[in-house]
């Protein structure tokens, strides 16, 4: 398990707007552990960015005048893929009364899986102990 910080960017929900942000950050040398985007209503979308180097992301965003949201935390879990792999982690959190606010999970090649789990800010320390 790795505890990662990430930042969000809000963009117009129109073709090419997310690509422009990601391409600008690519040109600045920012590499990502994870990216996910979703609509947030009224013609806007949010892109959550988990950078391999958060200092570089913040520096590049400032230079490019890309407004990053506040720092948030996600937990990255990974391992051998099997039925219930993500459910097991969620069960551990539920047993400690920690609510999961979001989860993104994918199977990877060679029988592996990875997931990002988000909890409320007040539960981050408690979740870190559970997910160790």
On whether the CB atoms of residues 96 and 126 are closer than 8 A, the answer is: yes
Reply yes or no on domain 73-131 having CATH 3.40.718.10.
no
Taking the C-alpha atoms of residue 43 and residue 25, their distance in angstroms, rounded to an integer, is 23
| Residue boundaries of the structural domains of the chain | 2-69, 73-131
Beta-strand (E) ranges in 65-121?
A: 72-80, 100-108, 112-119
What pLDDT digit, counting tens, does each position of 122-132 carry?
Answer: 999 999 999 98
Span 2-69: which CATH code?
3.30.70.260
Q: What is the reported pLDDT for 33?
A: 93
pLDDT value at position 108? 83
The pLDDT assigned to 113 comes to 95
Task: Evaluate if residue 109 carries a pLDDT over 90.
Answer: no
Q: What are the tokens at 26?
A: 């690519």
Q: Do the domains at 2-69 and 73-131 have one common CATH topology? A: yes
Lowest-confidence region among 24-28, 32-36, 100-104, 106-110:
106-110
The stretch 48-54 carries a mean pLDDT of: 97
C-alpha dist (Å) from residue 122 to 110, 112, 132: 36, 30, 17
Of 34, 128, 32, 37, nearest to 89 by C-alpha is 128
List, for residues 6-48, the tens digit of each pLDDT value.
999 999 999 999 999 999 999 999 999 999 999 998 999 999 9
pLDDT per residue over 54-92, tens digit each? Answer: 999 999 999 999 999 999 999 999 999 999 999 999 999
pLDDT at 94: 98
């Amino acid at each position: 398990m790795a505890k990662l910080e990430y930042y969000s960017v809000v963009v117009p929900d129109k073709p090419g707007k997310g690509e422009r942000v990601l391409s600008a950050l690519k040109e600045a040398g920012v590499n990502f552990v994870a990216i996910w985007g979703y609509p947030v209503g009224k013609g806007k979308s949010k892109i959550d960015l988990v950078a391999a180097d958060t200092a570089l992301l913040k520096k590049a965003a400032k230079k490019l005048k890309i407004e990053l949201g506040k720092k948030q935390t996600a937990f990255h879990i990974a391992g051998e893929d099997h039925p219930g792999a993500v459910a097991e982690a969620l069960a551990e959190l539920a047993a400690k009364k920690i609510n999961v606010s979001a989860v993104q999970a994918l199977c990877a090649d060679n029988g592996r899986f990875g997931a990002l789990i988000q909890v409320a800010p007040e539960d981050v320390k408690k979740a870190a102990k559970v997910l160790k």
